[in-house]
Amino acid sequence: MKRLLIKKTVFAVGYVILAILLEIITFISMGMGVLPQYFGLDLAVILIIALVIFVIPNSAAQISVVSFFIVLQIVLSIANEALYSMSGMVFSFSMLNLVSEVTGVVDASFLNWWLVAGSIILFGGALAGMIIFARRYVVPKGLYTRNTIVIMLVAFILAECCAGILYAFTVESFSAAADQEQTEEDRLSIFYDENELYTEQKFTAKAFKEFGTYGYFVVNIGNSISGETYVDEITESDIDRYFADGRMSRSVYGDDIYTGAINGKNIVLIVIESGEWYVINKEYTPTLYAMAEGGIAMTDFHARDKTNCSEALSIMGSYPSVTALEPANMVENDMPYTLANIFGNDGYTSNYFHINYGSYYNREEVFDSLYGYDNAYFLEDLTLLPGSSDKKGFYDFDKDSNVFRHYMNEFTYSEDGGPFFTQMMTLISHGSYNDLLVHGNYPFTEVPEAPGEVSSGEMTEEEKDEFVEKCQIKGLEEYYELIDRFPETFVSGTPGIAEDFLAEMDIYSEMFLRYKRYQAGIMDLDLGVNMLVKDLESKGELDDTVFMFYADHSAYYDQMNYLMKGIDPSEFYNTNVYSVPCFMWYGGSMDLNVEPLPLDEYSAINFTATKDVDGPLVPGKITKFCNTYDILPTLLHLSGYSFNTNMYQGVSMFSKLESVFVSHESGIFIDDIYFSTIDVYIESGSEWKGYVFDETYKQGGFGDYILEFLYDAVDYYDRQEMLDAVLSCNYFGSRDFFNGNGATKYIEKIV
């Protein structure tokens, strides 16, 4: 019997050691210390699993169970490290509904190969050791007598109880501490209350850091299975009071000259995939450059969210914080407060275009049934696009310009002569950006190696054909032929390219080739916009059309968002990383002069505004902090609406107010403060200084400016809790959004 117990103990203890080692490796690689703060939760779950392994009678079965849990932990560790390094978030089982989308864009550059290699070596060595031990340390048959089984069962139950007590004791330890700290109500407690963090996991990275892999995922799985959310107890009466307390935007912004400035005008809203300011330049994207330079550029605009989140923020003014409220799961809900529904109520025809499949992020349901677009076009609907019926994987992008080339009438479609509101989510500028790095600097043979250098030499026709055959993203060759150096002329007030930094890092040539692929994608959009402008001009509609462009997020593939701006990739808190393009151009009051690129279908533009030159929208720059939440309020403000400010998270960019940005990936920030919910980073001169939030706040170390920012962040979460409840109970299924609810108004047209 002793020999039997020794063998079982070896497998159980071996698992415990492996699990703890992997936890240490994971935490160190993620920069979270060595072990979680409440390691007791982690250890308790590990021990429970180890005891299950202990009582399994068969060695092969024991090895299989050990392997399963260790492999699962390795996969989670690799995923968490990649997600955390890329966006400051960790994996949640609520993400499983996005598996098909995530796996479609996964890229090896996101992985920490040292972590991958170390984990595989550790597991491989342990597995080999267990197999050798099992074969050499043979236990005679017949040892599983009734007494042996009873003894093992009793020991198992006692040990499991001890592990359970350890788990409960650890939970009780931070619960008691929280109760002791909160002797009076503190609005900032949502950022340090371990009880709330443990049960709701609102801040996943912080929950992971404090409770560890197993301590975090036990609750995470339970929350995902139960589907319960923190808004379940909010009633419609609570929401009634919430909106009754909301101020109308007219009273907040005042009667200004911008209210109704684009009332009744056509609106084109283009979301630039992975947009960066440096690709909006005079050399390669002259139409976009002229519209930004000669229009209104928001030079301090920020975004940091997945594409579908950023889209939603501009359409519905917020995005659900609870996974159970994913819009794709709520297609029967009434959402009259989206841009498409509001404009539709005002006589607009709304159109949406995206050249990926409609099933991606469930867009075909969301944009039709939920967001309320009259016409939504996806890859399967755009049959005139070359190769639309034979797409080979996610990265087999069609060109954005083909939408304008083949579907111009649908893009500008309106019923009965009314105005149109058309939104487009671009795609061709999506990463990865490896084609030229792998297959050569088409059509050149030499690559610039230092600032001021230009591509030189020319591929042979055979080499060109080979490139065209092997490259991942097809059809960009005409743009590659024009890009022979980094651009020099950027939109005023926006950063250029940190060429000296790239040279110092010895990555100048590599980043030029990545940039070239990326710039070519934006050039394709520029060509499409050029064609759209000429079409509207020929129809006499350009002076009645407003263009608005914004980026969904920065170009994060291969850390381009850091390196091209001269920012160390470890400085995730540097908010300049998330500064991206946003600009408006209005044909009624703004001229547009574009010198043509040597491309087929690209036209010179010499447009002079005459219709609304005395209006308030004149070329200029908005230099205050703006973000994605502000798109919808801005368009409503300019279109002449006053709206309940409790309905949306952002503010009009044409008001004096600023909104805090809360990323659905990770991070809460304004220009000079970044809050990860673990640390607060504050810009001081040209440097950023970090402070551990819990410790610094409890010691009274934050001044009024920081506290005001933190309270604004709390306001966001309070507001989002009610907006989540609006979705959860389908509040507007029984309320008249346009005419109000008694004395409560939600929206009104004032111009």
Query: Any idea where the domains of the chain sit in the sequence?
Result: 2-226, 249-671+703-749
Q: How many CB atoms lie within 10 A of CB 244?
A: 14
CB 41 within 8 A of CB 212: yes
- Hey, how many other C-beta atoms are within 10 angstroms of the C-beta on 552? 25
Pick the CATH number of 249-671+703-749 from 3.40.50.460, 3.40.720.10, 3.30.450.20, 3.40.50.300: 3.40.720.10
Task: Label residue 325 by pLDDT band (50, 70, 90).
Answer: very low
What is the pLDDT at residue 108? 62
pLDDT at position 501 over 80: yes
pLDDT band for position 111 (cuts 50, 70, 90): confident
Beta partners for residue 548, in sequence order: 269, 584
DSSP class of residue 397 equals: P
Position 181 pLDDT exceeds 60: no
For 587-638, what is each residue's pLDDT tens digit? 999 999 999 999 999 999 999 999 999 999 999 999 999 999 999 999 999 9
User: In 3D, which of 596, 592, 651 has the Cα closest to residue 626?
Assistant: 651
The mean pLDDT of the chain is 88
Give tens-digit pLDDT for 571-598. 999 999 999 999 999 999 999 999 999 9
Beta partners for 688? 683
| b/e burial code for range 529-549 (CB count within 10 A of at least 16 → b) | bbbbbbbbbeeebbbbbbbbb
- The answer on pLDDT for 654 being more than 50 is yes
Convert the pLDDT of each residue in 533-560 to its tens digit: 999 999 999 999 999 999 999 999 989 9
Give CA 599 to chain center in angstroms.
34
From the list 565, 588, 571, the residue with the least C-alpha distance to 490 is: 565
pLDDT band at 41 (very low <50, low <70, confident <90, very high): confident
Q: Which range (97-111, 291-305, 532-546, 679-693) has the least confidence? A: 97-111
At 218 the pLDDT is: 80
Cβ pair 354, 525 in contact under 8 A = no
pLDDT exceeds cutoff 60 at 179: no
Who contacts 241 (Cβ-Cβ below 8 Å, separation ≥6)? Answer: none
pLDDT of residue 335: 93
Report which secondary-structure segment, H or E, holds 496.
none
Which helix or strand (DSSP H or E) is residue 193 part of? none
- Find, among 375, 376, 374, 351, the residue nearest to 363 by Cα: 376
Of 130, 127, 126, 152, give the one whose Cα is nearest residue 4.
152
Backbone φ, ψ for residue 386 (5° rounding): -60, 125
Confidence of residue 202 (pLDDT cuts 50, 70, 90): confident
* Residue environment code for 88-99, b if the CB has 16+ CB neighbours within 10 A, otherwise e: bbbbbebbeebe
Residue predicted with more confidence, 107 or 744: 744
Phi/psi for 536 (5° steps) reads -65, -35
pLDDT in tens, 207-231: 888 888 888 888 877 766 655 566 7
Lowest-pLDDT choice from 247-256, 302-311, 325-334, 470-479: 325-334
Q: 3-state class of 497 per DSSP?
A: coil
pLDDT for the residue numbered 135: 76
pLDDT band at 286 (very low <50, low <70, confident <90, very high): very high
